[in-house]
Amino acid sequence: MHDRLNELGVERCLLWADQPSGLRAVVVIDDLTLGPAAGGIRTRSYPSLDAALADAAALARAMTFKCALGGLTAGGCKIVVLDQPDLDRPAAFERLGQLVQELGGLVRTAGDLGTAETDLQHAAKHTRYLHLDEAALCASVARGLMACIEACVAQRGNDATALAGLKVAVQGCGAIGAAVAKALNQQGVELLLSDVDADRATRLADELGAALIRPDDVLSAKVDVLAPCAVGGVVTEQVARSIQAWAVVGAANNILSDRRVAATLAARDILFVPDIIASAGAAIDGIGRTVMGLSDRTPLIDALGTTARDVLVRAAVSGSTTVEIAEQLARERISEGAAGAGAAEADSD
């Protein structure tokens, strides 16, 4: 187990089990340099504990980078609940809430893929370190993502504030995807919507007057911008070679199946804003409010567009991928934060 943690670059891992409720959970705390660890609760079926651990590790690292790039005093973590036939969800999430509370604020969490609002409500009975305002978090993701699309428009030499007339394909019509679609609709964007839940996609399309596209076709749709807002890993090498959009900007976590896919997109002159920037709005809203005490988080959310533009420009000049540039920038901000904390500690001594 320790060898596997070393392979994944994980220093802090908790395994939670509660026999009466069937709870099985993996918690990876990636980094605490800048502050407490922030990350959502993902619930899904995994083929093995190792697969759950690998997913949690990758998502926790992404959260660390996301917080750093968002200007937050927080690091990253992830809680993964293994969805199994014997899982008593109400009891399991109540126990999960107790376990989060025992950490005393070291972990700050919220919802994520596969975790229902009712699950979070059960957990919130026992912890004050759970953010329940899903609507606000989703709206913040949408605001940040739009700022990143504007950065892509500017990078192409167009008016960054003029999104009207763009054609955008949104993959996923859940809470976040719907918020993204509604925000884009208000800007006069032409939408193509897709979801594996056909009824959900149809309801949202009817509400917005948008067009529908089959899930099998959405990633290769002939649009300006592709916005994956569901599960991660959807942009594989094969998909990257078939994309017809000139930009990929999504709210899903870990959109690329492999970081090397970024080079394929770059070789095809497809702009890619890493999701550690594009989807950071929720982290900014949650941590900005509960940890940093900011009454207005919108300046930090809007600044994601500036960060995206900086990354796009640096990548174009250096020949590195936007993923490499974004991660480098995140590490620099973490190092600066560590140096600042060390200097403050020395002064206090």
Tell me what percent of the residues of the chain surpass a pLDDT of 90. Answer: 93
Read off the pLDDT band of 348 (50, 70, 90). Answer: low
The last residue of a domain, from among 131, 150, 178: 131
Tell me the per-residue pLDDT of 56-115, one tens digit each, with 9 for 90 and over.
999 999 999 999 999 999 999 999 999 999 999 999 999 999 999 999 999 999 999 899
Q: Which of 8-17, 112-121, 156-165, 327-336 has the lowest mean pLDDT?
A: 156-165
Give, as one character, the DSSP assignment of residue 130: B
CATH number at residue 231: 3.40.50.720
pLDDT value at residue 340:
64
The count of C-alpha atoms lying within 13 angstroms of the C-alpha of 192, restricted to the half-sphere facing its C-beta, is 21
On the question of pLDDT at 161 being above 80, the answer is: no
Same domain, 125 and 44: yes
pLDDT value at residue 338:
75
CB crowding 180-193: b at 16 or more within 10 Å, else e:
bbbbbbebebbbbb
Same domain, 240 and 193: yes
On the question of pLDDT at 295 being above 90, the answer is: yes
**Is 339 inside a domain boundary?**
no
Same domain, 123 and 231: no
**Is 342 inside a domain boundary?**
no
Read off the pLDDT band of 183 (50, 70, 90). Answer: very high
- Domain boundaries, position 81: 2-62+74-131
Same domain, 42 and 20: yes
Whole-model pTM: value is: 0.91
Could you please report the per-residue DSSP string of 52-85? HHHHHHHHHHHHHHHHHHTT-S-EEEEEEEE--T
Same domain, 254 and 154: yes
Same domain, 185 and 295: yes
CB crowding 115-151: b at 16 or more within 10 Å, else e:
beeebbebbbebbebbbeebebbbbbbbbbbbbbbbb
pLDDT value at residue 337:
81
Read off the pLDDT band of 345 (50, 70, 90). Answer: low
**Is 345 inside a domain boundary?**
no
Same domain, 44 and 140: no
If DSSP codes are grouped into helix, strand and coil, which group holds residue 17? strand
Same domain, 96 and 172: no
**Is 114 inside a domain boundary?**
yes
What tokens were used for 152?
Answer: 């892509």
**Is 68 inside a domain boundary?**
no
Tell me what percent of the residues of the chain surpass a pLDDT of 70. Answer: 96
- How would you class 167 by CB atoms within 10 Å of its CB: exposed for 0-12, middle for 13-18, buried for 19 or more? middle
Question: Is-catalytic flag, 78?
Answer: yes
In the chain, count of helices (H) and strands (E)?
Answer: 13, 12
**Is 346 inside a domain boundary?**
no
Read off the pLDDT band of 209 (50, 70, 90). Answer: very high
Same domain, 162 and 309: yes
How far apart (Å, rounded) are the C-alpha atoms in residues 94 and 21? 9
On the question of pLDDT at 343 being above 60, the answer is: no
The number of folded domains in the chain is 2
Same domain, 106 and 173: no
**Is 38 inside a domain boundary?**
yes
Read off the pLDDT band of 158 (50, 70, 90). Answer: confident
CB atoms within 10 A of CB 335: 12
**Is 349 inside a domain boundary?**
no
The last residue of a domain, from among 131, 146, 170: 131
Same domain, 173 and 307: yes
Segment 254-269 mean pLDDT:
96
What tokens were used for 208?
Answer: 């917005």
Same domain, 81 and 211: no
pLDDT value at residue 162:
78
Mean pLDDT in the chain?
Answer: 95
CATH number at residue 18: 3.40.50.10860
Which of 78, 125, 167, 222 does the annotation list as catalytic?
Answer: 78
